[in-house]
Every structure is written in C-alpha cells, then in structure tokens.
Amino acid sequence: MSEREPNSWASALTSEDFRARMVVGPATILDAGLPLVLFTVVYSVNGQNLTGALWWALIAGAVLAVIRLIRRTPLQNVIAGFLGVALAAFFASRSGRAEDAFLPGFIINVSYGTAYLVSILVRWPVLGLLVEFALGRGTDWRKNPDLVRAYTKASLLWVGLFAARLAVQVPLYLAGTDYLGWLATARLTMSWPLFLLVVYLSWVIIKPAYHASRMAAEPDRERAQPDSEPAEPDSD
C-alpha cells in the first residue's frame, strides 16, 4: 500500500473506513440523537404521550437506516444506528419515564471513555490503533516514542469528549422530565460539533510527530532503492 501525505491521517480519522472500525461512531450517535429530538418534540406537544413519541422515534430511526443503506454505509453502522434508537425506546417503555430514552447514550459514552482511558494506561492508545490501521500501517508506530506520546495525548482529548458529554447530560437527565428539551438539545449539539473539534485538536497534536516519522523513514526507503538502472549492453 502506498504512503499517503503527512496529514492524511486526519482524513482517515473522518473517513467512512475509520467510522466503520468504530462500529458505534459519531454518525451513529447523531443518528440516535435526531430521532430522540423528534421523540422529545412529539412527547412535549402531544400531551406527554410516551407511546406515540416512541413510535415516531422508531420510524425516524428506520428512515435514517434506509438512507444509510442507500448511501452504502457499512451494514454494522446501519444496524448500530437503529439499535441505538430501539434501545432508547426499550428503556423508556420499560420504565415509563421519557428521560430514560437517553440512557443508552450514556452507556455508549461511558464505554468509549473507559476503553480510551484503559488503552492509555496500558500504552496502546486507541486513537493510534484506529488511525494507523485505517492508513494500513499496522503497529509499527509503537516503535516510535514520539508517535506513542502524541497518540496518547490526543486520546486524552477523546476521553475528555466523552466525559464532557456525560458531565452536561447526566445532570439534565437527573433533573427529570421538565428538562427533557434541554437534554435532547445537548445530546444533538454535543455529537458532531464536539467530534469535529476534537478531530482538529488531535490533528494539531499528532501532526508534528507523524511528519517527523515520515521524514525519518525517507532515507531508509531511498537506500532500499537501486541508485541507477543497469547499463544496456553496447550493440555496436
């Protein structure tokens, strides 16, 4: 596989291939967020009819799944996106509390945050694994202390992302149904906007180490190539 430009990892970070590896990625969280916004609106304007609001959310989730299939999004992301909506409906229908529709999102963020934090502690930062495999570079990056350090710092940003979502949304959830609209708004606005901000900040952190690693590899590739083509025999 051919080498890419020094900042190509940033493209990989936002690529469909990277999101497919994540399985429950930012697009999935957004897909689950939009139906929950519709759920909140219907619940609020329809006399707090929980069953009707849940059906609207499920229909919206199914429509989004169909759209993603038409766009040829990887099947696991389609399933994960709809599963998020279905789980939200299940939690809320079981408890009878509208705010419980947001519990699966909390579970996702806790799971991701924990995975990133553990990976940092064991010195196998998840961000490095995801990006480098998306670029087809395997695990060679772990031989470079600067890259490991950069991916570790950037992974901490992702821990902060998941922690920020929980810090804002959990208190709104605990405040009860009266804050349901604020909770839905926070869920939606803290999906893609925060994700893109963290992607940019990760790029700022990782770019110098990534660029240096490529520059260091250039002499090795040049030495591996023959200096010149063998001379053609003189036919005269």
Domain boundaries, the chain: 8-217
CB crowding 39-69: b at 16 or more within 10 Å, else e? bbebbeeeeeebeebbebbbebbeebbeebe
Q: What is the pLDDT of residue 20?
A: 45
Per-residue pLDDT, 2: 41
Report the SS3 class of residue 81.
Answer: helix
Those residues of the chain that have pLDDT short of 70 are 1-33, 73-78, 217-236
**6 close to 208: Cβ distance less than 8 angstroms:** no
Query: Longest Cα pair distance anywhere in the chain, in angstroms?
Result: 98
Residues 6+ apart with CB under 8 A from 166: 106, 109, 110, 113
User: 73-110: per-residue pLDDT in tens?
Assistant: 666 666 777 888 889 899 999 999 999 999 988 998 99
CA-wise closest residue to 88 among 50, 139, 143 = 50
